[in-house]
Amino acid sequence: MSEVKKVVLAYSGGLDTSVILKWLQDVYQCEVVTFTADIGQGEELEPARAKATAAGIKQIYIDDLREEFARDFIFPMFRANTIYEGEYLLGTSIARPLIAKRLIEIANETGADAISHGATGKGNDQVRFELGAYALRPDIKVIAPWREWDLNSRQKLLDYAERHGISVEMKKGKSSPYSMDANSLHISYEGRILENPWTEPEEDMWRWTVSPENGPDQATYVELSYQNGDIVAIDGVTHTPHQVMEKLNKVAGANGVGRLDIVENRYVGMKSRGCYETPAGTVMLKAHRAIESLTLDREVAHLKDELMPRYASLIYNGYWWSPERAMLQTMIDASQIHVNGKVRVKLYKGNVIVVGRQSDNSLFDENIATFEDDAGAYNQKDAEGFIKLNALRMRIAAKKGR
Amino acid sequence: MSEVKKVVLAYSGGLDTSVILKWLQDVYQCEVVTFTADIGQGEELEPARAKATAAGIKQIYIDDLREEFARDFIFPMFRANTIYEGEYLLGTSIARPLIAKRLIEIANETGADAISHGATGKGNDQVRFELGAYALRPDIKVIAPWREWDLNSRQKLLDYAERHGISVEMKKGKSSPYSMDANSLHISYEGRILENPWTEPEEDMWRWTVSPENGPDQATYVELSYQNGDIVAIDGVTHTPHQVMEKLNKVAGANGVGRLDIVENRYVGMKSRGCYETPAGTVMLKAHRAIESLTLDREVAHLKDELMPRYASLIYNGYWWSPERAMLQTMIDASQIHVNGKVRVKLYKGNVIVVGRQSDNSLFDENIATFEDDAGAYNQKDAEGFIKLNALRMRIAAKKGR
Amino acid sequence: MSEVKKVVLAYSGGLDTSVILKWLQDVYQCEVVTFTADIGQGEELEPARAKATAAGIKQIYIDDLREEFARDFIFPMFRANTIYEGEYLLGTSIARPLIAKRLIEIANETGADAISHGATGKGNDQVRFELGAYALRPDIKVIAPWREWDLNSRQKLLDYAERHGISVEMKKGKSSPYSMDANSLHISYEGRILENPWTEPEEDMWRWTVSPENGPDQATYVELSYQNGDIVAIDGVTHTPHQVMEKLNKVAGANGVGRLDIVENRYVGMKSRGCYETPAGTVMLKAHRAIESLTLDREVAHLKDELMPRYASLIYNGYWWSPERAMLQTMIDASQIHVNGKVRVKLYKGNVIVVGRQSDNSLFDENIATFEDDAGAYNQKDAEGFIKLNALRMRIAAKKGR
Amino acid sequence: MSEVKKVVLAYSGGLDTSVILKWLQDVYQCEVVTFTADIGQGEELEPARAKATAAGIKQIYIDDLREEFARDFIFPMFRANTIYEGEYLLGTSIARPLIAKRLIEIANETGADAISHGATGKGNDQVRFELGAYALRPDIKVIAPWREWDLNSRQKLLDYAERHGISVEMKKGKSSPYSMDANSLHISYEGRILENPWTEPEEDMWRWTVSPENGPDQATYVELSYQNGDIVAIDGVTHTPHQVMEKLNKVAGANGVGRLDIVENRYVGMKSRGCYETPAGTVMLKAHRAIESLTLDREVAHLKDELMPRYASLIYNGYWWSPERAMLQTMIDASQIHVNGKVRVKLYKGNVIVVGRQSDNSLFDENIATFEDDAGAYNQKDAEGFIKLNALRMRIAAKKGR
């Protein structure tokens, strides 16, 4: 336990990681480097700097990773229409590999031999942080205080904070009874009354979306422009990836879009109940499927659909930096070359309704699809042979008495 | 073309199949048996009998298949959370194999050597009818007039009808510019302005649902009871499968739930645009996932998810009566043994929101999942070894310079 | 460490488990029940009884599990044409769940609260034993001495044995430098010179097979009769499952059939090199595919093939007693209903050559397959439509300039 | 039928395509361009030129495609360890897309509006030729005489040849009762006595391999060097792709390696029996798996294995030029970046035995894999947590009474 010289801590400035900071200094007697990232969680970062300074930290990293997060993590994931267990848009999962990567980069820059994080021993996040870290630097030491210390309740944590003069009133005003996580893609809630899956969440839990009931009575229409499977413009105006997230979060959230309440299967083996707000992501999933419906070959689309659950599990389970995720990504990205065009979406009281899609790369052929006379574009007689040969194996089987 | 003695025609009593009836008599000079089924499309069947009689038909079958349809086709399909191309609930697809089966049964009963249907040569339905028919009776002859005759436009059809004294004012009052199909699971619209995927459907196209805008301002809560993956009661009251469909269609449709507007890939190779109303089905998909989230093992659920797209394609493409669909069904059904319990759902202006799930077979363990002290139910230290070994292959690779 | 009252030990009577027996008595101060199974490894079991008695054991279980092993484990696995990483026939993997099951049954019978085994902390077997045990009795305690003690080398083990008067000359005569495992399905070799994957194994390592060079100059023909996917007779003579294994091991081994030399990926994250002899299994895989080639529907066969690697991984990784393996087995078993008939196999100097297959359930139709005139059984013109519609999506794409 | 101006015929110079040539001139009254390719079938091409000239053909293409075939078709396919239905190495299937591509290229060069081939309406080859052609030039016309004419028996063909002065004694000396196909990867046999799957092929049918019985009594060792998954040298000597095929066919065939006798499922819906000789391919499959076993990540390898059956079906069914095959290829090729090193293989009387593999990109770590003291490279205690968490979901289920 004593061999650590310098540790990079993923530091939010909140109670938990402030206690961890102190605890690392005390128990490991090592230098601590703090790393605080803006990944769109919507909190001021400067207080974290002040607190770290006050705690005697000399190397303080505060990074704005919002564009990188959207461009290199969120967008690639949405190219696959990724959704875990039919419902979850992987908001927490997709941020962790970026944090892991920066932790290792900073460790390399500062000559640190260890990293530390505030994730508990029961959750998925420890796995995501650590698998990423090990994949990127195999000899890194990982300190996961929640798995080591005996501060296994809120009260013990508070006592420790008080004993060591750690300011507890932090995050005042928005203190919440829930365990929460936020970034450009989503905000999540776990714990407390949610631990009973039969209980409906209270309205005041939600932070990013109005309820469908409180959305405007007039629908909002949004036009999304795609290039290679990514949104590049909204209503005709070019947006960077992070600007897309920001803009869509705002407009979708205002229309009550993006709430989710599920029981999910954690990688560590238990079921847990979580509530999520993913306003932009909910629109993006629907709209991306719509632009693909016009521009993607059928079999390519089906193959993507069949592989998606596995790709989603890889991300959920923390394998972003694995070779198998990279391999799948190669294929997914290759599929997006023609996914260009526009999707028109209507947002209304919780609904995301696709009302139009168009593309210069469209494979939709009105001449063939039409119910009217198609002037010979399609020979209906071909269907007979098509059916007959597709039926042949079943006919043979039936003749043989099956 | 002349060797048919007796043909069973899937007969709706509408213009198209009335023309087909006459055409079969004329061209094939054979006896025609009509078969008209109630599969929940919401139309009177007796007019079909009258018309068939008027056309000189002696063997007229009119069957109420609604319970069989829900019990043996819709329900098994929903056990798999089946959805085609991420969106479509397979409303048309799932009805065809039942029609195919009855056509063959009636052919066997009446000594017919052929069947006939009114599906065009461009669509999926011809495939679904005929694959089913061939699988169930390999030597059956199939007459698909739309692939044979030259009545390839609406006007030619009307002329033919007039020439042969076929009443054309039929279906008056609800005549529609769209190509439509309806049954207990859904109603579909294709053609006309929908052939441009950039055009939003007109509000007056929709028949089974109010628009989200016109749904009640007060949400409706529904409690669904599951047994072996199937809904057996609504709000505590036992319902047969068809009653479930009827009840949920009504309550969901009244709340604006179940509209869908997509571009899909047909089995015959083209893209087409379709709009669908599936009120009950939309609720059922969401609720079934919710009850499974509590009662299904993680890996079982994931395996189901990975196989679902293929299962959906099998149904979409007309392979209900294939051995591979049967094999998958065996597995799906086996997975449902513990899928029992209740799901509470909130319906509101187009939204289906799961607000609670509970089950005596729940695998959710509050003692383990809790963020509070779990009294040793879970040893957080186990996570370290779990992560370390899962990371091992990536660490070795990284050490080797990858 | 001290809370164990009674432990059931998987006991071979060899050095390792004899040391473990003593170590359990010393360290855990608990009663030990020994369990020794005949799963076809070809060793006398009575010496194990004598040694256990000498060590003061009062409850000694010695079971002949050979028929159960073949019937309930080997045979179901072969129904899926199971093969791990394209090569390995899972000889060790498939025996472990049976041992796990018996350990738990005996624990239940004897009121034991723990089980123990001699598998190391680096291998797959610990996982297989323990996942099975936990699945069958979730509160069981597991003692895995190799993960606990400090006897981490051969010499330390020998010293311990000597210190405690454990007879070391055991297994004399057939002592081997390799780490070995044997049962009715195979014998395996790991370690020593095999740890260099570039080194060819020495001829005298192999025990169950002659080298291809030393096989007879005359081929041996064997006729296998299948019922529901299982071999039920050899050369017309009914055999029980274990008799099948015994007979085929003998005849195949005598013809140099069944050697394998591979590098495989362990579940715990490392690559390892192993050599295997699986004479019967090598014949069974080939012959089962042959009888399926005649009797299985194409799409059923292909679906099985696509799921097989996952099924193999489940077994390799120790998930025999998992719900997902059970679910897959349901489907696999359902596929075998028509897998009846005979396969003729030629064995010659390492080769297994299928030379004939026949079945009353054959789907092979000579009239259709023939290159000669088929009297109209198949209409070649159907192929045009079949090809045209299958090509349609690619033609549309090409027309659009892709 | 009469609108064809110029047709490119895949012309072997044999009886069938000579008759087709004449028939095209007569029936379609159009100009014929002949295309004859050397893809390693081992026949003189100049006689084809002479015959075409004699038949009045002005545009005669004779191409040596052997390197392109090996480099762009065979090698990419082997990167996936491709094998259809567990047995077949796709020798015929993989050559057809190349022929289709050249037919279209030549049609484009010569201003032809149609292509023609000699494949029957019952087989897979028609599909492979035509899907490729349509994908590469969607408006091409395809003339498949076997589906059109009435020369549906050998005798009628011979009569036609005689009537039109087509020399019949061609291919004398090696006339065969079997329907055959040959190229650098394999030679195949179908028809006649093979149409009974219970009948063993006669020894004198086989042309490229000696029987195992007649292989040399001394084994032959071969060392294969891999770069990015492809063989680049044999026994240390650089070889081009086609040279690899030639060399390995020779050495493997001389050792009785590569015979196969199977019943397979054709895409057009029937089962057929085929015999194949694939000497080089049999070695390549085995050796490629061996080099991958050392250099590929476990999960990458497993994902490849799970997708392989589908990739194999795509090739078998004629979808080489489809977007889904291209997408899969992207992924497969990306996986091969580290597949470098050497494999040593022993060939002996039908056996291909891997006896060594080594690689600078090896992921095999002797320090970790060793059964001896590993000096802390691997912490055995990690396994406990690994197992415990992997077991958790099953333990919870068991506690809940499942």
Q: How far is CA D34 from CA B325, D24, D117, in A?
A: 46, 12, 10
Q: Enumerate the H helices of B237-278 as residue ranges.
A: 241-254
Find the length of chain A. 402
- Whole-number pLDDT of residue A402: 86
Q: Which residues contact A34 (CB under 8 A, 6 or more apart)?
A: A8, A9, A11, A21, A48, A52, A57, A59, A60, A61
Whether residue B292 contacts residue B286, with contact meaning beta carbons closer than 8 Å, is answered with no
D333 has pLDDT over 70: yes
Cα–Cα distance measured from residue C339 to residue C360, given in angstroms and rounded to the nearest whole number? 10
pLDDT digits (tens, 9 = 90+) for C298-334: 999 999 999 999 999 999 999 999 999 999 999 999 9
D189, β-bridge pairs: D180, D275
The dihedrals phi and psi of B343, each to the nearest 5 degrees, come to -130, 135
B265 touching C, CB under 8 A? yes
Local structure of A235: helix, strand or coil: coil
Cα–Cα distance measured from residue B80 to residue B82, given in angstroms and rounded to the nearest whole number? 5
A109 has pLDDT over 90: yes
Token digits for B201?
């459907």
Whether residue B45 contacts residue B17, with contact meaning beta carbons closer than 8 Å, is answered with no
pLDDT digits (tens, 9 = 90+) for B47-60: 999 999 999 999 99
Ranges A41-50, A217-226, A313-322, B364-373: which has the least confidence: B364-373
Neighbours of chain C (3+ CB pairs under 8 A): A, B, D
D235 is an active site residue = no
pTM: 0.97
Question: Rounded mean pLDDT of chain C?
Answer: 94
- Whole-number pLDDT of residue B171: 46
Cα–Cα distance measured from residue B133 to residue B99, given in angstroms and rounded to the nearest whole number? 9
Cα–Cα distance measured from residue B383 to residue D384, given in angstroms and rounded to the nearest whole number? 10
Token digits for A322?
């694995």
B390 touching D, CB under 8 A? yes
Q: Which of B 3-32 lie inside 8 A of A, CB atoms?
A: none
B362 has pLDDT over 70: yes
Q: Which residues contact D126 (CB under 8 A, 6 or more apart)?
A: C383, C387, D117, D119, D120, D144, D146, D147
Cα–Cα distance measured from residue C145 to residue C133, given in angstroms and rounded to the nearest whole number? 16
Neighbours of chain B (3+ CB pairs under 8 A): A, C, D
How many Cβ atoms from other residues are within 10 Å of residue D54's Cβ?
12
Q: Is A128 annotated as a binding residue?
A: yes
DSSP string, A156-203: HHHHHHHHTT----TTTTS--SSEEEE-SS-EEEESGGGGSTTSPPPG
B239 has pLDDT over 60: yes
C57 has pLDDT over 50: yes
Q: Which residues contact B6 (CB under 8 A, 6 or more apart)?
A: B30, B31, B32, B33, B110, B111, B112, B113, B114
Local structure of A248: helix, strand or coil: helix
Which whole number is the average pLDDT over D108-123? Answer: 97
Higher pLDDT, A358 or B44: A358
D360 touching B, CB under 8 A? no
pLDDT digits (tens, 9 = 90+) for B72-105: 999 999 999 999 999 999 999 999 999 999 999 9
Most confident of the following: B362-371, D171-180, D305-314: D305-314
DSSP string, D220-244: EEEEEEEETTEEEEETTEE--HHHH
Closest among A296, A326, A298, A300 to A311, alpha carbons compared: A326
Whether residue A100 contacts residue A136, with contact meaning beta carbons closer than 8 Å, is answered with yes
pLDDT digits (tens, 9 = 90+) for D154-168: 788 889 999 998 877
- Whole-number pLDDT of residue C2: 52
**Which of D147, D289, D373 is opposite residue C86, by nearest beta carbon?**
D289
Token digits for D334?
């990306």
A2 has pLDDT over 70: no
Q: How far is CA A20 from CA A12, A152, C254, in A?
A: 11, 13, 66
C172 has pLDDT over 50: no
Cα–Cα distance measured from residue B218 to residue A213, given in angstroms and rounded to the nearest whole number? 9
Whether residue C191 contacts residue C211, with contact meaning beta carbons closer than 8 Å, is answered with no
C171 has pLDDT over 70: no
Q: Detail the residues of D annotated as belonging to a binding site for L-citrulline.
A: 88, 93, 124, 128, 179, 188, 264, 276
- CB-based contact D379 B397, cutoff 8 Å: no
Token digits for D398?
């068991």
Q: How near does any CA of chain D get to the CA of B135, in Å? A: 13
Local structure of B386: helix, strand or coil: helix
C91: left (phi over 0), alpha (psi -120 to 50) or beta: alpha
A172 has pLDDT over 90: no
For A260-277, give the secondary structure using H, E and C. Answer: EEEEEECCCCCEEEEEEE
Which whole number is the average pLDDT over D107-135? Answer: 97
Whether residue D246 contacts residue D254, with contact meaning beta carbons closer than 8 Å, is answered with no
Q: How near does any CA of chain C get to the CA of A151, in Å? A: 24
Cα–Cα distance measured from residue D191 to residue D201, given in angstroms and rounded to the nearest whole number? 11
- Whole-number pLDDT of residue B255: 98
- Whole-number pLDDT of residue B259: 98
Q: Is A184 annotated as a binding residue?
A: no
pLDDT digits (tens, 9 = 90+) for A250-306: 999 999 999 999 999 999 999 999 999 999 999 999 999 999 999 999 999 999 999
pLDDT digits (tens, 9 = 90+) for C232-269: 999 999 999 999 999 999 999 999 999 999 999 999 99
Question: Rounded mean pLDDT of chain D?
Answer: 94
The confidence band for D368, taking pLDDT boundaries of 50, 70 and 90, is: confident
- Whole-number pLDDT of residue A167: 77
**Which of B200, B289, B306 is opposite residue A87, by nearest beta carbon?**
B289
Token digits for C103?
């350990």
pLDDT digits (tens, 9 = 90+) for D1-22: 558 999 999 999 999 999 999 9
Whether residue D190 contacts residue C371, with contact meaning beta carbons closer than 8 Å, is answered with yes
Cα–Cα distance measured from residue A287 to residue A342, given in angstroms and rounded to the nearest whole number? 9
**Which of C269, C319, C331 is opposite residue B327, by nearest beta carbon?**
C331
pLDDT digits (tens, 9 = 90+) for A53-94: 999 999 999 999 999 999 999 999 999 999 999 999 999 999
ipTM value for the complex: 0.95
D125 is an active site residue = yes
Q: How far is CA C131 from the centre of its chain?
A: 17
Local structure of A62: helix, strand or coil: strand
A260, β-bridge pairs: A276
Cα–Cα distance measured from residue C2 to residue C114, given in angstroms and rounded to the nearest whole number? 12
Q: Is A150 annotated as a binding residue?
A: no
Q: How many CA atoms lie within 13 A of A370 on its CB side?
A: 17
Chain C residue numbers with beta carbons less than 8 Å from the beta carbon of B389 are: 268-269
Q: What is the CA radius of gyration of chain B?
A: 25
Which whole number is the average pLDDT over D107-114? Answer: 98
Closest among A263, A254, A257 to A277, alpha carbons compared: A257
Which whole number is the average pLDDT over A367-395? Answer: 86
Closest among A197, A254, A192, A248 to A225, alpha carbons compared: A248
The dihedrals phi and psi of C208, each to the nearest 5 degrees, come to -100, -15
Q: How far is CA D172 from CA D22, D169, D207, in A?
A: 21, 6, 15
Which whole number is the average pLDDT over B8-13? Answer: 96
Ranges A74-78, A364-368, B120-124, D152-156: which has the least confidence: D152-156
D179 is an active site residue = yes
- CB-based contact A386 C383, cutoff 8 Å: no
B373 has pLDDT over 90: no
Q: How near does any CA of chain A get to the CA of C43, in Å? A: 40
Cα–Cα distance measured from residue A72 to residue A230, given in angstroms and rounded to the nearest whole number? 11
- Whole-number pLDDT of residue C262: 98
Ranges A177-181, A200-204, A301-305, D171-175: which has the least confidence: D171-175
Q: Which residue of chain A has the CA closest to C299?
A: A393
- Whole-number pLDDT of residue B173: 44
B265, β-bridge pairs: B271
Q: How far is CA D215 from CA C221, D221, D281, D384, in A?
A: 20, 14, 18, 52
D170 has pLDDT over 80: no
B362 touching D, CB under 8 A? yes
Chain D residue numbers with beta carbons less than 8 Å from the beta carbon of C351 are: 212, 349-351
The confidence band for A176, taking pLDDT boundaries of 50, 70 and 90, is: confident
pLDDT digits (tens, 9 = 90+) for C366-388: 888 776 667 677 899 999 999 99
- Whole-number pLDDT of residue B113: 97
Which whole number is the average pLDDT over B240-256? Answer: 98
The confidence band for D189, taking pLDDT boundaries of 50, 70 and 90, is: very high
Closest among A117, A171, A169 to A148, alpha carbons compared: A117
C56: left (phi over 0), alpha (psi -120 to 50) or beta: left
Cα–Cα distance measured from residue A208 to residue A259, given in angstroms and rounded to the nearest whole number? 9
Chain A residue numbers with beta carbons less than 8 Å from the beta carbon of D393 are: 265, 269-270
Percent with pLDDT over 90 in chain C: 89
pLDDT digits (tens, 9 = 90+) for C185-227: 999 999 989 999 999 999 999 999 999 999 999 999 999 999 9
Q: Which residues contact A42 (CB under 8 A, 6 or more apart)?
A: A182
- Whole-number pLDDT of residue C169: 59
Mutation target among B396, B399, B402 for the D interface, most CBs of D within 10 A: B396
Q: Which of C 288-317 lie inside 8 A of B, CB atoms?
A: 297, 299-300, 303, 310
Cα–Cα distance measured from residue B54 to residue B25, given in angstroms and rounded to the nearest whole number? 13
- Whole-number pLDDT of residue D171: 46
Cα–Cα distance measured from residue C243 to residue C67, given in angstroms and rounded to the nearest whole number? 8
- CB-based contact A297 D391, cutoff 8 Å: no
- Whole-number pLDDT of residue B251: 98
**Which of D201, D355, D380 is opposite residue C121, by nearest beta carbon?**
D380
Whether residue A56 contacts residue A31, with contact meaning beta carbons closer than 8 Å, is answered with no
Closest among D226, D227, D229, D283 to D251, alpha carbons compared: D283
**Which of A388, A397, A402 is opposite residue C382, by nearest beta carbon?**
A388
- Whole-number pLDDT of residue B154: 79
Cα–Cα distance measured from residue B63 to residue B36, given in angstroms and rounded to the nearest whole number? 6
Which whole number is the average pLDDT over B256-265? Answer: 98
- CB-based contact B351 A294, cutoff 8 Å: no
B377 touching A, CB under 8 A? no
pLDDT digits (tens, 9 = 90+) for C60-118: 999 999 999 999 999 999 999 999 999 999 999 999 999 999 999 999 999 999 999 99
